[in-house]
Amino acid sequence: MKFSQIKYERPDYESFGKQMNEFAEKLREAKTFEEAYAIHQEATKLYNHLASMLTVCHIRHDIDTTDEFYEKEQDFNDENAPTIEEQHLNYSKAFYESKFRKEFEEKVGPVAYKNLELAIDYFTPEMIPLMQEENALVTKYEKLIAQAKIDWEGETLNLSLMTKYTTDPDRETRKKAFAKTTGFFMDNRAELDEIYDKLVKCRTAQAKTLGYDTYLELGYARMNRNDYGPNEVKAFREEVKAKLVPLATKLHEERRKRIGVDHLYYYDTISFKNGNPTPKGDPDEILAQGKKMYEELSPETGEFFNFMLDNERFDVLGRKTKRAGGYMTSIPDDDNTPFVFANFNKTVGDVDVITHECGHAFQGYITRKDCNEYRDITMETAEIHSMSMEFFTEKWMDKFFGDRAEDYKKYHLEDAVCFIPYGCMVDEFQHIVYENPDMTPEERRKAWVELEKVYRPHMDYGDNECYLTGGLWQRQSHIYSMPFYYIDYCLAQMVSLQYKAWMEEDFAAAWNSYLEFCKQGARDFYSRSLPKVGLSVPFEKGCLDKTVSAIEKKLNF
């Protein structure tokens, strides 16, 4: 269905809550599995309708933040959606405790049950006031960052607009731009420290209501870590330290030679003397090239992209009245079909929408007929779909970057490799912080400085006070808003590099594996899903060896 034809109606929360309670009751009393299954399907339909209305409202509000109707509806939904949590949890419990669990597991898989277990076991009503405090602190951080005002040559810019200058081809401009942005973080250090300190203590207090000493277990449960724990993640980080850090150091040196400087400093953010490649063409041209690319890649991707175009599923033009940022979501009522929201601004980010966000959207599209439980994937899996699509579409990059397509590919691969050590550093930092909740802000900064030496020994912060004293992490919003999330990107990037190495050898085989992996969704656990399609699990010792040597070969070391 075309997006404009999808009808929005205000959700009736009271009736939803009542019906959910009734479904819970009926499910508990069901005599046969057939009866229970029919109830579950009805409850799912009701839930999907509510989710669809919330999504449609959200998208339409984001598309035009001055539209009064959707602004009112958004406020109404923000206020009322939390009121049905309890009834929804009541239904989830009835489903979890159903005497037909064995039969249900055959229909919806074991992962869904493990997720429900995490949701139920890691919650007590005692946490609610602390959760509200946590949300308020995260909002406070986000506002502080969003409202940053940087004086730049007579203009007042926010931090995201400053990126243009911190990646400028001119070295002095970059250095000056970094001095300005890190100056903001120095000026606000005391407040940023205070917010984070309160967040760590608040999250630890929530864990204590469940009987844990630290936030670690609860943090993992909230990330839906249904298949692995801190030990596996640690093993992965150790492999990264041993195998990827030396590779990133080599890449650093290669880049130094390429941009022709005697020594690389933190502000040398460019990959080429003439700057990083930017896409050519306006948004319509980029979409038209995307269409050709996906039609050539496979019948499945061609069908997907045409569906998106024919049904108004891209809103990518940057407009003044539109919300900033980008995302992919889906509309359960309309067969779970995807929608992609973005603000094209003539940077590499525009192409990321066509490759990365469309990787997410493509997986959503080909699993649209699956049950909700199979579609409920965790982040380390979801990011494999998107990050790998960035590599599978590399062949077509000349459509977007013209004669700088090769530069783009080089930049992209280097970026992927160098990201993983950084991401692991963010993860290890959070383990240190949450395992030692009484650390002072000063001690946390020292810990960060030590981690920098391990994960980025080649990084030189010159005379930048903010970075030299371990202040860089305060820019990383995930550390404040989503504890332990960052490692998901690293795990997924590692798998996408496996695909990159594989497609160099045999593109068709790698693509078939990817297609199968997308279709699996959450049918099985992460560590069992990867080997089924010929991929290694990043926690296994030596898992990185083959990929790293293939990448080194590709980069001609």
- Contact set with Zn ion (CB under 5 A): 386
The β-bridge partners of 156 are: 151
What does the CA dihedral 291, 292, 296, 302 come to, rounded to 10 degrees? 20
Is the CB of 223 or the CB of 451 nearer to Zn ion? Answer: 223
| Cβ at position 325, least distance to Zn ion in Å | 12
Is the CB of 94 or the CB of 420 nearer to Zn ion? Answer: 420
| Cβ at position 147, least distance to Zn ion in Å | 26
The β-bridge partners of 328 are: 340
Tokens linked to 167: 């990646």
| Cβ at position 553, least distance to Zn ion in Å | 28
| Cβ at position 379, least distance to Zn ion in Å | 8
| Cβ at position 352, least distance to Zn ion in Å | 9
Is the CB of 17 or the CB of 538 nearer to Zn ion? Answer: 538
Q: Do the bridges between strand 314-315 and strand 337-341 make them parallel or antiparallel, or are there none, so unpaired? A: parallel
Question: Which residues 6+ apart lie within 8 Å of 256 measured at CB?
Answer: 263, 264, 268
Instruction: Report the alpha-carbon distance of residue 341 to residue 530 in Å, rounded.
Output: 29
| Cβ at position 310, least distance to Zn ion in Å | 24
DSSP run (H or E) holding 105: helix 101-108
Give the side-chain half-sphere CA count within 13 A for 332: 17
| Cβ at position 380, least distance to Zn ion in Å | 11
| Cβ at position 258, least distance to Zn ion in Å | 28
Is the CB of 165 or the CB of 485 nearer to Zn ion? Answer: 485
| Cβ at position 518, least distance to Zn ion in Å | 14
| Cβ at position 166, least distance to Zn ion in Å | 23
Task: Decide: 553 and 402 in contact? Cβ < 8 Å.
Answer: no
Task: Decide: 142 and 477 in contact? Cβ < 8 Å.
Answer: yes
| Cβ at position 190, least distance to Zn ion in Å | 33
Is the CB of 217 or the CB of 315 nearer to Zn ion? Answer: 315
Is the CB of 349 or the CB of 437 nearer to Zn ion? Answer: 349
Is the CB of 30 or the CB of 389 nearer to Zn ion? Answer: 389
What does the CA dihedral 306, 310, 313, 319 come to, rounded to 10 degrees? 110
Instruction: Please give the C-alpha separations between residue 41 and each of 36, 75, 103, 182, 470, in angstroms, as whole numbers.
Output: 9, 30, 14, 53, 52
Is the CB of 24 or the CB of 354 nearer to Zn ion? Answer: 354
Of residues 488, 427, 497, the one with CA closest to residue 455: 427
Residue number, nearest CB to Zn ion = 386
Is the CB of 496 or the CB of 529 nearer to Zn ion? Answer: 496
* Count of Cβ atoms closer than 10 Å to residue 515 Cβ: 16
Q: Return the axis-axis angle of helices 441-455 and 405-435, rounded to nearest 10°.
A: 140
Is the CB of 420 or the CB of 451 nearer to Zn ion? Answer: 420
Instruction: Report the alpha-carbon distance of residue 523 to residue 216 in Å, rounded.
Output: 26
Is the CB of 209 or the CB of 329 nearer to Zn ion? Answer: 329
Is the CB of 115 or the CB of 386 nearer to Zn ion? Answer: 386
Of residues 333, 242, 312, the one with CA closest to residue 544: 242
Buried b (16+ CB within 10 A) or exposed e, 274-284: ebbbebebebe
| Cβ at position 99, least distance to Zn ion in Å | 39
Of residues 309, 311, 329, the one with CA closest to residue 62: 329
Tokens linked to 548: 């790293």
- Centroid of chain to Cα 19: 33
The residue length of the chain stands at: 557
Is the CB of 386 or the CB of 430 nearer to Zn ion? Answer: 386
Q: Read out DSSP for 2-41? A: -GGGSPP----HHHHHHHHHHHHHHHHH-SSHHHHHHHHH
| Cβ at position 418, least distance to Zn ion in Å | 18
